Structure 1
Amino acid sequence: MAGRPRIYNADQALDKAIEVFWQKGYENASSDDLLKAMGIGKGSFYLAYKGGKQELFQKSLDRVMDHHIKAFKDKIELSEHPLEEIRVFFYEMADPETNLGKYGCYFANALIQVSDKDLKCSAEKQLRTLKDIFVKALEKEKMQGNLKTAVTPDLLGLHLLNLWSGLNVTRNTVNDKSELKMLIEMNLRCIQ
């Protein structure tokens, strides 16, 4: 027997949970916040997420990776000039109209906010994937002769990951987003 049919869209509900986690953080997102945003009751929640909030957050990490980071990776792979895609990606952190500009990097936030070791490991894995995307873009540009620096793409990729994570914190202390954009420009000069 299959049981009662689901009367909500699981992807839409997960997207709503992501918004709550992104705005409030993992620890500060209450069950009531999540249930209200997702538009489901406790019974439906625990049927869908037997591991509770932890399982929901893990699925949210996976979904953000699948949708946001995969879209960035696809742009990098299809682009003739992936360095430009990297610049655009970083400038989102300085744009107050984007989730990155308002709330920061979902994965970097998780590393700071989450105490659960498994969730931290998952967020670390996602950030390493981001670094790998940077490295592939840099290797492509190096092979095309567009990257003039003697620094290896691997070290530059690590630098970009460090910049990305650092900007996640710095964006909270810089009120003037044009200053943040100038900081990004200064740091991205190493990939010219």
Structure 2
Amino acid sequence: MKSRAERNQDFESIKSNLFEAGVSTVKAAKASEEMFNTSLGAIADAMELDLGDAPRLNQVVDESEADLIYETLLLQRQEAETESDFDAYVNAEEKLQQLEEFEAVRLERQARRLEAQVRIQVAQRLLQSEAQVVQPEQPAAPRWTESSLKAKYKTLKAMREALGVEAKSWKDAVEQANQQE
């Protein structure tokens, strides 16, 4: 069995690794988010859409805004198909595929964030459980001895009344008093 110092060292190592993994995951999610925002802006520019006041992805995003872009692209693709304009159709289809890829990236980013939250929660649980293990053990309740009972109660009768035991000797009184605790 490992000593307490070794267990603490192992725990600190695990805690440090979990923290570093969580930080790395959050940094990767932020980088992915920025890439997604930049790409979405480029698509909006290419489609000549005005997203001036649209929230960034690190804010709460209204799905209707993403749906607006998607619906616009579907409409462009349908118009190109109706007009038999192959280049416009291919252009709209490429934008739709790119938008779907960006959606996949966004979902992956959300998954990484959730994973980071889970890692943080696991680390917190480990910290709490380790804190409970590391707390000093409570000393055991004092055990009565014949001399301690005699010193405290002076007579067997006083001890029987105080502790509510039916002992006929000091030896029996010690056994019964210790069983009560």
Q: Is the TM-score greater than 0.5?
A: no
TM-score, scaled to structure 1: 0.23
User: Rg: which structure is higher?
Assistant: 2
Bigger RCO of structures 1 and 2 (CA < 8 A, at least 6 apart): 2
TM-score, scaled to structure 2: 0.24
